[in-house]
């Protein structure tokens, strides 16, 4: 057992339902045994109740739950920063040529390690990961995630049209390859499988039918939805009988409580209603939306329809793996929307980066906050002395204000420690400076 003395901050409540400040919780210590939080309270109280237990002091900064990224592409970790193009042209020019390289097993292995080490260095301990088009590359990702103990939900990306020929397969091959991966990796430790057509633009009805055949009781589903106007126009042409983009998935039974759709920047009210009816979720990826000029995410309409929303970095269209930066971008976008936007507090931002993601991925009983009984997946955000963030934390009025300054100024360099189910992660990218 270990007692961690820290400024422990999380959002067990829902800031979108009532007073945001009431969703925030703060304590001075956690008792952790076998990777699970066994007690929480003041440092003095935990030390008195558990005399003789070793104490690890995490002084300065905040200890928050491990971040949950609900949309990120592992094969694109080497392709961040492609500027100046909208979605479909960006895919052809930057993303898909890189994804083709994962046909090479050694390349895929290196990319998987770089991707997962990048997640850990950014404080992300759970993620819904958009996979590769190549099954052996998926074995590399799952094996490397298992080795690191991370909560990873992922699956083979399948498509049978409108992409580079080397990224296409048939519904029969996609079904066989996916079923094989699913059988070997789903529900193995902290790993789970997600059926993953790239988007209905690149998936025929036959391919979407194959996806539906894979969806068992506890299998996840993820894809893209309503990201860009040219994409939506093409989907409308390809599926003349469909009512809207979401219908291309829903008519195959692919909209469920375990479905996560990335983007949804341009939804109709009918689509929002359908998402809410099926308890499906949306991964909001603001920096990607900005980089590709996709549009300003209508968060208020999602919340008013009762659609679950969490955050995704959408690397490589997104500009990095650090989820607090994504939360800041979400805040900016809502400000830019004016009266149509939702003014987000720092409590909303912490919730979106942690518990909202856990709820979206059905992991809320295990991660997303630091309550007793949860896994000890945590990030210690402590800036270097003398940094502008350190200066600002010194002048923070209260915990919410400290969070605001972390979201405004924080970078992966401020990640002073990451715990994955109670084990402090070794990060190749950011060795512990203290
Ligand atoms: Zn994406």
Report the half-sphere exposure of 159 (CA within 13 A, side-chain side): 21
How far, in Å, is the centroid of ligand 1 from the Cα of 314?
5
Can you give the pLDDT at residue 434?
Answer: 41
What is the pLDDT at residue 375? 98
Beta strands in 131-258 (DSSP E): 151-155, 157-158, 191-197, 220-225
Distance 71 CA to ligand 1 centre (A): 6
Reduced to 3 states (helix: H, G, I; strand: E, B; else coil), residue 376 is coil
**How many angstroms separate the CA atoms of 410 and 99, rounded?**
30
| Cα 38 to averaged position of ligand 1 atoms, centre (Å) | 37
Task: Say how far apart CA 125 and CA 370 lie, in whole Å.
Answer: 13
Q: Which of 94, 74, 146 is nearest to 291 (CA)?
A: 94
Cα of 73 to ligand 1 centre, how many Å? 6
- Cα(281) to centroid(ligand 1), Å: 14
**DSSP per residue over 287-325, as a string?**
HHHHHTT-----HHHHHHHT-EEEE---TTTSS-S-HHH
Q: From ligand 1's centre to the CA of 388, what distance in Å?
A: 33
**Strands (DSSP E) along 187-337, which ranges?**
191-197, 220-225, 259-263, 281-284, 308-311
CB-neighbour burial class of residue 334 (10 A; exposed 0-12, middle 13-18, buried 19+) = buried
**3-state DSSP call for residue 55?**
strand
60 CA to centre of ligand 1 in angstroms: 36
User: Residue 412, CB half-sphere, CA atoms under 13 Å: how many?
Assistant: 19
Please give the distance, rounded to the nearest whole angstrom, from the Cα atom of residue 192 to the centre of ligand 1.
19
Whole-number pLDDT of residue 427: 61
Tokens of 160: 């049978």
> Structure pTM?
0.97
CA 22 to chain centre: 24
Residue 65 Cα to ligand 1 midpoint, Å, equals 24
CA-based radius of gyration for the chain: 21
Compute, in angstroms, the gap from residue 76 CA to the centroid of ligand 1: 10
Helix (H, G, I), strand (E, B) or coil at 433: coil
Query: pLDDT at position 216, please?
Result: 79
pLDDT in 10s for each residue of the chain, 434 residues: 899 999 999 999 999 999 999 999 999 999 999 999 999 999 999 999 999 999 999 999 999 999 999 999 999 999 999 999 999 999 999 999 999 999 999 999 999 999 999 999 999 999 999 999 999 999 999 999 999 999 999 999 999 999 999 999 999 999 999 999 999 999 999 999 999 999 999 999 999 999 999 997 799 999 999 999 999 999 999 999 999 999 999 999 999 999 999 999 999 999 999 999 999 999 999 999 999 999 999 999 999 999 999 999 999 999 999 999 999 999 999 999 999 999 999 999 999 999 999 999 999 999 999 999 999 999 999 999 999 999 999 999 999 999 999 999 999 999 999 999 999 997 654 444 44
Q: Determine the distance separating the centroid of ligand 1 and the alpha carbon of 332, expressed in angstroms.
A: 20
C-alpha to C-alpha distance for 43 and 4, rounded to whole angstroms: 8
**Nearest partner of 364 among 37, 36, 68, 35, judged by Cα:** 68
Predicted local confidence at residue 433, as pLDDT: 42
- Tell me the torsion sign for CA atoms 269, 271, 276, 281: negative
Separation of CA 23 and ligand 1 centre (Å): 30
Separation of CA 162 and ligand 1 centre (Å): 16
Amino acid 183: pLDDT: 97
Classify residue 240 by burial, with Cβ atoms within 10 Å: 0-12, 13-18, 19+: exposed
pLDDT of residue 430: 44
What's the gap in Å between 199 CA and the centre of ligand 1?
A: 9
Long-range contacts of the stretch 167-171 (C-beta < 8 A, 24+): 167/96, 167/99, 167/100, 167/133, 169/133, 171/204, 171/206, 171/207, 171/209, 171/210
Q: Quick check: helix, strand or coil at residue 409?
A: helix
Query: What separation in Å is there between the alpha carbon of 30 and the centre of ligand 1?
Result: 36
CA distance 369 to 26: 11
> For residue 25, what are its two tokens?
């919780």
- 356 CA distance to ligand 1 centroid (A)? 18
């Amino acid at each position: 057992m270990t007692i961690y003395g820290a400024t422990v901050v999380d959002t067990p409540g829902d800031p979108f339902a009532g007073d945001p400040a009431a969703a925030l919780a703060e304590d001075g210590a956690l008792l952790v045994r076998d990777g699970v939080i066994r007690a929480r309270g003041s440092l003095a109280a935990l030390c008195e109740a558990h005399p003789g237990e070793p104490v690890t002091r995490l002084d300065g900064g905040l200890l928050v739950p491990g971040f949950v990224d609900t949309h990120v592409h592992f094969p694109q970790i080497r392709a961040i920063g492609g500027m100046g193009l909208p979605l479909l042209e960006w895919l052809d020019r930057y993303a898909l040529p890189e994804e083709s390289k994962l046909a090479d097993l050694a390349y895929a292995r290196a990319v998987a390690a770089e991707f997962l080490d990048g997640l850990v260095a950014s404080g992300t301990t759970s993620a819904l990961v958009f996979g590769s088009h190549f099954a052996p590359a998926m074995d590399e990702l799952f094996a490397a995630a298992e080795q690191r103990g991370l909560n990873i939900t992922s699956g083979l990306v399948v498509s049978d049209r409108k992409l580079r020929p080397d990224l296409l397969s048939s519904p029969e091959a996609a079904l066989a390859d996916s079923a094989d991966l699913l059988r070997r990796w789903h529900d193995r430790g902290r790993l789970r499988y997600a059926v993953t057509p790239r988007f209905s633009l690149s998936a025929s009805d036959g391919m979407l039918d194959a996806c539906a055949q894979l969806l068992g009781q506890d299998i996840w589903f993820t894809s893209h939805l309503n990201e860009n106007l040219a994409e939506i126009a093409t989907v409308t042409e390809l599926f003349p009988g469909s009512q809207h983009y979401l219908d291309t998935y829903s008519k195959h039974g692919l909209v469920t409580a375990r479905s996560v759709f990335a983007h949804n920047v341009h939804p109709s009210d009918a689509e929002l209603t359908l998402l809410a009816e099926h308890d499906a979720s949306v991964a909001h990826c603001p920096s990607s939306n900005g980089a590709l000029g996709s549009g300003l995410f209508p968060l208020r309409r999602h919340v008013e329809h009762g659609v679950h929303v969490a955050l995704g970095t959408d690397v490589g269209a997104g500009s990095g793996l650090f989820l607090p930066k994504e939360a800041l971008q979400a805040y900016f976008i809502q400000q830019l929307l004016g009266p149509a936007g939702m003014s987000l507090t720092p409590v909303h931002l912490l919730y979106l980066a942690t518990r909202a993601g856990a709820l979206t991925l059905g992991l809320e009983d295990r991660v997303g906050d630091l309550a007793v009984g949860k896994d000890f997946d945590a990030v210690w955000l402590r800036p270097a002395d003398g940094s502008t963030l350190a200066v600002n934390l010194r002048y923070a009025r209260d915990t919410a204000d400290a969070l605001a300054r972390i979201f405004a100024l924080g970078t992966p360099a401020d990640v002073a420690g990451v715990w994955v189910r109670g084990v402090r992660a070794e990060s190749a990218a950011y060795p512990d400076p203290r």
